[in-house]
């Protein structure tokens, strides 16, 4: 505090009650006392309650058998007869991450498209985008999820007469079925090809930049990279004898089995989340682009840059600085909103762990605490990553 | 000089511009068909509109059924609005006793009559209105909705529908605003312990989804209290929602506090004002004015989030519509129910967001710092 009295020897010492330092210590002491008192009160009550209701505490329930089916477990074989609550937790976490990542990617793509189209000089397109944004972001997400799940996906045909696309994809009330790629022996060759391609691209990019610095000639890096990215893995696959087979869904008496399946709960959740968030992202992108002053693109044109290059080298890097911080909070929102799967019977952490497991094991405190800790960790990780990205693109000032 | 010579003595009136450069044609050329890509966009948008709007209008208006008492009575193939019509009172009041519903009407009329003038410019006596809305109205409303003092007691289990949604949203915002201000001040405090507690609180609540918070309210909160205490489910929900909203409100208010130039703090200190006087008389009046749009946006988000109480079994507006569409008489009307709910939520949220945008424009004086 600048008011500190020791800096000026002549100033009179304030009385004990008016000394800001002493006051602050007293206030903080009181707050700590209240805080500790409340915490002790809650802990004490909780212990009493748990004892009265005969609920054991601790994390041992994680290894107790769960005995229910989770519906969806793409990364882990889940067997209802042997699974424990710990398995349920892991499946829940993986599914949440899958929903969040798919949702974030889709929402970003849709949001950027609508944000750019919203600024289109075309009156009809711009108005359409305006109404898309205003309708989607002013209707509660839960309502949208219920709508997609019950009113749209719920009207798909029964499993007897599923809609078929080229006899490869089937769509019915149980989900969307498609061929599942199954890697065979020698699949690693394709991976190796991919790694070689990426290494080659990095080398070419550095070489092209160096050459442009020295001679001013521009090398078509993008198209070369694309070609390399396709050709090298393809050659590798040809050498290994195309080590990839597809498992097609088979029709039997109970409907379709095997292959890749996208459950309607997952589809409704991803669709609802990404459309809802895309409306917010579109507004963020629009304001980000508008925040770049018109003079910037005019100056770029005056220097002779083509419109594509102007956009890529001048407008977008500046717009990103405005876009990234609010975009981060939208990503966080999307991740947290994936918990709404509980309302449509999805299979992510809140639905199966904080829902079904909690009902079965009854250990509310541990389960809710673990769920909250998971979300806090994810929030923190996304924030850290986006802060790093934000720092990377931030304006470097002298 | 011949007779047929002609010397113009006045200028010829301006010719009108070519047809292609005026009026609607010019507008269309500039806005819709300026390039082949734009033409393509225009045509595909028109086609999209053609595929969406007429079928929707046909379904929702022209071939809709308004009367009937079960889904089977809706025979015309369009929307079955009969469901909404039959259940309308329930959607509005939940299971509030029919004879007491005037109390809900009066309660909300009073709220709208006092809160809407607050938003309009140039209405005198706003200070008293604000004091009424934030300090007196909650008690009046509690009396009206719950009963007491001669009014019949209505158990909160009977609350539902739009009324419950509005109660949840309003109470949460009224409680969370002062709490949020306190946490925002705490976060900017110079006392390290208070600052740490406030940061911890804010970040904890902001890092978790509302659903886990609601679960916490319904299963964990009872465990925290002495054995045997059993208190109202709606009250529990209100407590956790208010704490949740307070964390978001605190960040909004902090934004306003940071926007106030340091000179204002220093000037107040130089005048010898105490901390609370500095805040109450100098800083907060300026900071809160800047963040009104942010507060409105938080309120919109909160209003939409009240639908989440469906998960813990409260019958709010969305939840009661959802249960009506699964009743055996009305199976098959889920689209109608969701469209109706969406329209109501949309009207509320859209008008509030328009208000917030208007405020932002009004407060944005074009100065940067």
**How far separated are the first and last CA of chain A, in Å rounded?**
31
Which residue carries 């009250």 as its tokens? B235
CB pairs A-B closer than 8 Å: 152
Cβ–Cβ contact B207 with A under 8 A:
yes
- Report pLDDT for B325: 84
* Per-residue confidence (pLDDT) for residue A131, from 0 to 100: 92
Q: Where are the beta strands (DSSP E) in A162-285?
A: 163-165, 169-172, 175-178, 180-183, 244-247, 250-252, 255-257, 260-262
Task: Identify whether the C-beta of residue A120 lies closer than 8 Å to the C-beta of residue B41.
Answer: yes
Tell me how close the Cα of A193 comes to any Cα of chain B, in angstroms: 38
**In the sheet that A175-178 helps form, which strands lie side by side, from edge to edge?**
A163-165, A169-172, A175-178, A260-262
For residue A5, pLDDT beyond 50: no
Cβ–Cβ gap A49/B346 under 8 Å = no
Residue A208 has φ and ψ, to the nearest 5°, of -65, -40
Give the pLDDT score at B294: 87
Q: Kindly report the CATH number that applies to the domain delimited by B82-96+154-363.
A: 1.10.3720.10
Alpha-carbon gap, residue B322 to A140, rounded angstroms? 14
The pLDDT tens digits for B58-97 are 888 888 777 777 777 777 777 888 888 888 888 888 888 8
Residues 6+ apart with CB under 8 A from B221: B236, B239, B240
- Residue A89 clears pLDDT 80, i.e. is over it: yes
The whole-model pTM stands at 0.84
For the beta carbon of residue B96, count every other beta carbon within 10 angstroms.
21
Indicate if the pLDDT at residue A362 is higher than 80. Answer: no
Strand partners, A245: A182
Q: Do A125 and B41 touch (CB under 8 A)?
A: yes
Q: From CA B100, how far away is CA A100, in angstroms rounded?
A: 46
Mean pLDDT score of chain B: 84
pLDDT score at A12: 67
Q: What is the pLDDT of residue A396?
A: 67
Is residue B180 predicted with pLDDT exceeding 90? yes
> Does any CB of chain A come closer than 8 Å to the CB of residue B223?
yes
DSSP B260: S
Backbone CA torsion sign across B324, B329, B334, B338: negative
**For range B194-204, the mean pLDDT:** 89
Contact A45, A56 (CB under 8 A): no
**What is the pLDDT, as a whole number, of residue A208?**
86
Residues in B closer than 8 angstroms to A354, CB to CB, are 212, 215
pLDDT of A33: 92
Contact between B308 and A340 using a beta-carbon 8 Å cutoff: yes
Question: What is the tens place of the pLDDT at every residue in B118-153?
Answer: 777 777 777 788 888 878 888 888 888 887 777 777
pLDDT, residue A1, reads: 44
What was the pLDDT predicted at A10? 59
Of the pLDDT bands very low, low, confident and very high (cuts 50, 70, 90), residue B368 is very low
The listed range with the strongest mean pLDDT (A382-391, B2-11, B185-194) is B185-194
A140/B209 CB distance under 8 A: no
Residues of B in contact with A139 (CB under 8 A): 304, 342, 345-346, 349
Kindly identify which residue of chain A lies nearest to residue B218, measuring between CA atoms.
A364
Among residues A70, A112, A61, the alpha carbon closest in space to that of A349 is found at A70
For residue B345, the chain A residues in CB contact (below 8 A) are 138-140, 143
* Contacts with B338 from chain A: Cβ below 8 Å: 143, 146-147, 150-151
Q: What share of chain A is helix, strand, coil (3-state, %, to 5)?
A: 70, 10, 25
- pLDDT tens-place string over residues B249-284: 999 998 888 888 889 989 998 998 988 899 989 888
For residues B209 and B219, give the distance between their C-alpha atoms in angstroms, rounded to a whole number: 16
SS3 content of chain B, % helix, strand, coil (to 5): 75, 0, 25
Q: How many CA atoms lie within 13 A of A372 on its CB side?
A: 20
Residue A254: pLDDT band (50, 70, 90) is low
Residue A24 has pLDDT above 70, yes or no: yes
* A398 band by pLDDT with thresholds 50, 70 and 90: low
Q: What is the pLDDT of residues A335-347, one digit of tens each?
A: 999 998 888 887 8
ipTM value? 0.85
Looking at residue A318, what is its pLDDT?
Answer: 87
Give the mean pLDDT of B342-366.
Answer: 85
Which is nearest to B188 in space by CA: B269, B275, B268, B274?
B275
| B174 has a pLDDT exceeding 90 | no
DSSP state of A15: P
Q: What percent of chain B has pLDDT over 90?
A: 15
pLDDT of residue A9: 54
The nearest CA of chain A is from the CA of B227 a distance in Å of: 5
Whether A354 sits inside 8 A of B216 (CB atoms) is no
Average pLDDT on B19-44 reads 79
The pair phi, psi for residue A84, each rounded to 5°, is -110, 175
Q: Is B204 in contact with A48 (Cβ distance < 8 A)?
A: no
Q: Which of B212, B226, B326, B336 would best serve as a mutation to test chain A binding (most A beta carbons within 10 A)? A: B212
**In contact, B68 and B74? CB cutoff 8 Å:** yes
- β-pair type (A180-183, A255-257): unpaired
- For residue A322, give how far its alpha carbon lies from the nearest alpha carbon of chain B (Å): 16
Q: Please, which pLDDT band fits residue B323 given cuts at 50, 70 and 90? A: confident
The predicted structure's pLDDT at residue B110: 86
pLDDT band (50, 70, 90) for residue B247: very high
pLDDT, tens digit, 9 for 90 and up, residues A193-219:
888 888 888 998 888 888 888 887 777
CA–CA dist B277, B284 (Å, integer): 10
How high is the pLDDT of residue A4? 47
**Residue A278: pLDDT band by 50, 70, 90 thresholds?**
very high
Check if the beta carbon of residue A123 is closer than 8 Å to that of residue B32: yes
User: What would the mean pLDDT of B102-117 be, rounded to a whole number?
Assistant: 83
pLDDT band at residue A156 using 50, 70 and 90 as cut-offs: confident
């Amino acid at each position: 505090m600048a008011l500190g009295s020791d800096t000026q020897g002549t100033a009179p010492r304030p009385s004990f009650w008016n000394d800001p330092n002493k006051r602050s210590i007293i206030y903080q002491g009181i707050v700590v006392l209240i805080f500790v008192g409340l915490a002790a009160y809650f802990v004490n009550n909780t212990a009493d309650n748990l004892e009265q209701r005969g609920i054991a505490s601790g994390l041992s329930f994680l290894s107790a058998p769960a005995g229910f089916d989770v519906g969806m477990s793409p990364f882990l074989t889940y067997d209802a007869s042997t699974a424990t609550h710990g398995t349920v937790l892991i499946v829940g976490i993986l599914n949440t991450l899958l929903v969040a990542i798919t949702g974030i990617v889709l929402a970003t793509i849709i949001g950027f498209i609508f944000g750019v189209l919203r600024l289109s000089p075309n009156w009809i397109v711009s108005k359409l985008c305006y109404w898309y944004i205003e309708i989607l972001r002013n209707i509660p997400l839960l309502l949208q999820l219920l709508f997609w799940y019950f009113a749209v996906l719920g009207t798909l045909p029964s499993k007897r007469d599923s809609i078929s696309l080229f006899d490869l994809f089937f769509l019915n009330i149980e989900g969307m079925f498609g061929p599942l790629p199954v890697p065979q022996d020698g699949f690693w060759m394709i991976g190796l090809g991919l790694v070689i391609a990426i290494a080659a691209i990095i080398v070419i990019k550095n070489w092209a930049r160096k050459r442009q610095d020295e001679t001013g000639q521009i090398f078509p890096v993008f198209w070369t990279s694309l070609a390399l990215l396709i050709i090298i893995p393809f050659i590798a696959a040809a050498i290994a004898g195309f080590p990839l087979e597809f498992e097609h869904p088979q029709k039997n008496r109970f409907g379709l089995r095997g292959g890749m399946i996208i459950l309607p709960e997952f589809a409704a959740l991803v669709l609802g989340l990404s459309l809802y968030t895309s409306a917010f992202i579109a507004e963020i992108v629009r304001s980000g682009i508008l925040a770049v002053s018109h003079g910037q693109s005019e100056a770029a044109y005056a220097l002779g840059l083509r419109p594509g290059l102007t956009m890529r080298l001048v407008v977008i890097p500046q717009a990103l600085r405005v876009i990234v911080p609010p975009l981060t909070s939208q990503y966080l929102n999307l991740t947290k909103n994936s918990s709404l799967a509980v309302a449509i019977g999805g299979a992510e952490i809140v639905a199966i762990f904080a829902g079904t497991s909690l009902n079965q094991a009854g250990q509310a405190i541990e389960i809710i605490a673990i769920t909250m800790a998971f979300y806090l960790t994810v929030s923190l990780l996304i924030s850290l990553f986006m802060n790093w990205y934000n720092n990377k693109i931030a304006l470097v000032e002298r | 000089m011949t007779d047929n010579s002609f010397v113009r003595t006045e200028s010829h009136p301006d010719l009108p511009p070519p047809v292609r450069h005026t009026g609607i044609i010019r507008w269309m050329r500039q806005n819709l068909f300026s390039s082949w890509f734009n033409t393509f966009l225009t045509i595909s948008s028109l086609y999209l509109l053609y595929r969406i709007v007429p079928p929707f209008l046909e379904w929702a208006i022209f071939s809709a059924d308004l009367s009937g008492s079960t889904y089977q009575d809706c025979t015309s193939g369009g929307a079955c609005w009969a469901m909404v019509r039959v259940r309308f009172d329930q959607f509005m009041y939940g299971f509030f006793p029919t004879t007491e519903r005037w109390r809900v009407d009066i309660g909300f009329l009073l709220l709208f009559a006092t809160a809407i003038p607050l938003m309009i410019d140039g209405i005198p006596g706003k200070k008293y209105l604000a004091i009424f809305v934030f300090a007196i109205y909650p008690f009046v409303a509690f009396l009206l909705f719950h009963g007491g003092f001669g009014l019949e007691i209505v158990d909160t289990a009977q609350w539902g529908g739009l009324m419950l949604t509005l109660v949840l949203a309003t109470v949460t915002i009224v409680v969370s605003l002062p709490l949020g201000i306190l946490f925002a001040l705490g976060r900017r405090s110079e006392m390290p312990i208070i600052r740490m507690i406030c940061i911890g609180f804010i970040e904890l609540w902001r890092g978790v989804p509302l659903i886990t918070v609601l679960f916490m309210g319904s299963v964990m909160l009872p465990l925290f209290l002495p054995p045997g205490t059993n208190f109202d489910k709606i009250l529990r929900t209100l407590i956790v929602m208010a704490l949740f909203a307070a964390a978001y409100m605190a960040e909004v208010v902090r934004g306003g506090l940071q926007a106030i130039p340091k000179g204002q703090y220093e000037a107040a200190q130089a005048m010898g004002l105490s901390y609370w006087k500095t805040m109450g008389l100098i800083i907060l009046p300026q900071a809160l004015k800047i963040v009104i749009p942010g507060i409105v946006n938080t309120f919109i988000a909160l209003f939409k989030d009240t639908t989440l109480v469906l998960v813990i079994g409260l019958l709010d507006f969305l939840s009661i519509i959802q249960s009506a569409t699964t009743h055996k008489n009305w199976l098959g009307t889920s689209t109608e129910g969701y469209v109706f709910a969406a329209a109501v939520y949309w009207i509320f949220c859209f008008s509030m967001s328009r208000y917030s945008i208007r405020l932002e424009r009004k407060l944005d004086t074009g100065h940067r710092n």
